[in-house]
Structure 1
Amino acid sequence: MKYTRTTALAAVAVAAAFSLTACGGSDSSGKGSSTRNSSSSEGSSKTGGGSGSGGSEAGNAKPDSGEDTEARAGTANGATRTSGKVTFCKTKDLAIDAMDAAPDETSGRIDITMINRGSTTCSATGFAGVDIKDADNTSNPIERGHAQPRVTILKPGDAAVFDLAYDIDNSGDSLTSPTDILVTPPNETHTVTLKWPQGAGDIKGAYTDVEVYPTHTTE
């Protein structure tokens, strides 16, 4: 009987020990798995946040300023091309005349008018080239005055005007004797010769003291 009880007790002790070992291993395995899952989830969350808020959106973003610049450039070029259809007036299509337009006895002014006798609209924008021919047969180029050219578009029949300005010499001892005005319309190479207007005041100083101003419409 002793032998039987001893054997039974030993068996119970072994079974109990085995049970405790099995429980301990299960807890350890569970804790390790829980820790790894937590780290993996946390890491995945950080990576996902970085990719969503920065990487992909920044990589797919387009430079708006570049696209806007191209659009503006296209519009500007289009406007340039459209205005480019209006060619500069040809000398042969212009009726050109000069007249004395002095406002008083000290300020000399010669108005030169150009009328579009052509069949199409043209541009007379800018400065005309002007030389004054003297009685000694010399030709003297006239300097431009300080003025900004204005857009001057002429439909058939329209007129543009520009003027020569100078001081009048009332001493009777002028050093100049102008006979003709040589006019080359803006952006042209063909010149017309006009008579110096009868009754225009004498030029004070020299031809370098005369200035030509840009064209403008008469309206």
Structure 2
Amino acid sequence: MKYTRITALAAIGVAATLSLTACNGDNSEKNSSSKSSLSSSSSSSDGGSKPEGGSGSGDSEAGNAKSGSSDDTGAEAAANGAATGGKVTFCKTQDLAIDATDAAPDKDSGRIDITMVNRGSTTCSATGFAGVDIKDADNTSNPIERGHAQPRVTTLKPGDAAVFNLAYDIDNTGDSLASPTNILVTPPNETHTVTLKWPAGAGEIEGAYTDVEVYPTHTTD
């Protein structure tokens, strides 16, 4: 009887051991499967967020866009064109025939028209204000102030003329203290000066030379 019980108990112990082993084996497989799944998921997630592919192609596209930009190419070509002579240069004093005439519209408003004709062989620009001094009979030279006016683009082909004006009030009293003899003209953006005679018959200047104003060039068309 005792032997039967011992045998039974031994059988139960073996069964229990086998059951625990089986359970541990299942848990190990589950844990192994779970780790494998997490590892696979992590690998997939990392692969999707890696910057290698996207970043590389993005940089390549940006590089291609920069190197193939038509706007940059056009701007560079325009700059090269200007550097190789596409830009109109300013008229040189030596290429201009310059003359001064009395152009007073009435007895009270004095005006001297100074005309510049392009005698050169190329188109040039006379845009802006000419530098002007008036020389008096006492041999002093007086700089003339600019009038309030905006310069206009003044481009001269060979043979074309530009004009600018000196404006002042005429003194009809005969008491003017100004005795102009010459007009010294330096064309816009030039350093060489020409000396012109004060036009015969021009009205006397009222006040001082500081009351005379010079206006910007414009074409005669």
Alpha-carbon deviation of 1:86? 2.6
Q: 1:180 — aligned with what?
A: 182
What is the letter of the counterpart of residue 166 of structure 1? Y
CA distance in 2, matches of 1:83, 1:165: 37
Q: 1:103 — aligned with what?
A: 105
Instruction: Using structure 1 for the length normalisation, give the TM-score.
Output: 0.79
Q: 2:29 — aligned with what?
A: 30
SS of corresponding position for 1:97: strand
Closer, same or farther in 2 for the Cα pair 1:205/1:58, shift >3 Å?
Answer: farther
Alpha-carbon deviation of 1:43? 3.1
CA distance in 2, matches of 1:198, 1:40: 105
Alpha-carbon deviation of 1:118? 1.4
Closer, same or farther in 2 for the Cα pair 1:117/1:110, shift >3 Å?
Answer: same
CA distance in 2, matches of 1:200, 1:79: 47
CA distance in 2, matches of 1:108, 1:146: 17
Q: 1:20 — aligned with what?
A: 19
Choose from 127, 133, 136 the match for 2:135. Answer: 133
Q: 1:209 aligned to 2:208?
A: no
Closer, same or farther in 2 for the Cα pair 1:48/1:8, shift >3 Å?
Answer: same
Q: 1:93 — aligned with what?
A: 95
What is the letter of the counterpart of residue 42 of structure 2? G
Closer, same or farther in 2 for the Cα pair 1:81/1:185, shift >3 Å?
Answer: same
SS of corresponding position for 1:28: helix
Q: 1:44 aligned to 2:46?
A: no
Question: Higher mean Cα deviation, 189-198 or 31-40?
Answer: 31-40
Alpha-carbon deviation of 1:150? 2.4
Alpha-carbon deviation of 1:29? 1.0
Alpha-carbon deviation of 1:171? 2.2
Alpha-carbon deviation of 1:10? 7.0
Q: Which structure 1 segments of 5+ residues have no match?
A: none
Q: Deviations over 1:67-119 (max 9, x none)?
A: 98x93864674465367643322222211111122233332211111001111
Q: 1:218 — aligned with what?
A: 220
SS of corresponding position for 2:134: strand
Instruction: Using structure 2 for the length normalisation, give the TM-score.
Output: 0.78
Q: Sequence identity, in percent?
A: 68
CA distance in 2, matches of 1:83, 1:205: 47
CA distance in 2, matches of 1:140, 1:54: 75
What is the letter of the counterpart of residue 32 of structure 2? S
Closer, same or farther in 2 for the Cα pair 1:90/1:205, shift >3 Å?
Answer: same
What is the letter of the counterpart of residue 15 of structure 2? A
Q: CA RMSD in A?
A: 3.6
**Total equivalences in the alignment:** 215
What is the letter of the counterpart of residue 56 of structure 1? S
Q: Deviations over 1:6-36 (max 9, x none)?
A: 8986775465345313321221112212332
Closer, same or farther in 2 for the Cα pair 1:84/1:140, shift >3 Å?
Answer: farther
What is the letter of the counterpart of residue 128 of structure 2? G
What is the letter of the counterpart of residue 36 of structure 1? K
Alignment of 1:50-199 (within 5 A): 50-52=49-51, 56=55, 60=59, 62=62, 71=72, 74=76, 77-78=79-80, 80-81=82-83, 85-199=87-201
Closer, same or farther in 2 for the Cα pair 1:26/1:75, shift >3 Å?
Answer: same
Q: Deviations over 1:21-66 (max 9, x none)?
A: 3321221112212332343244334434443599837983859xx9
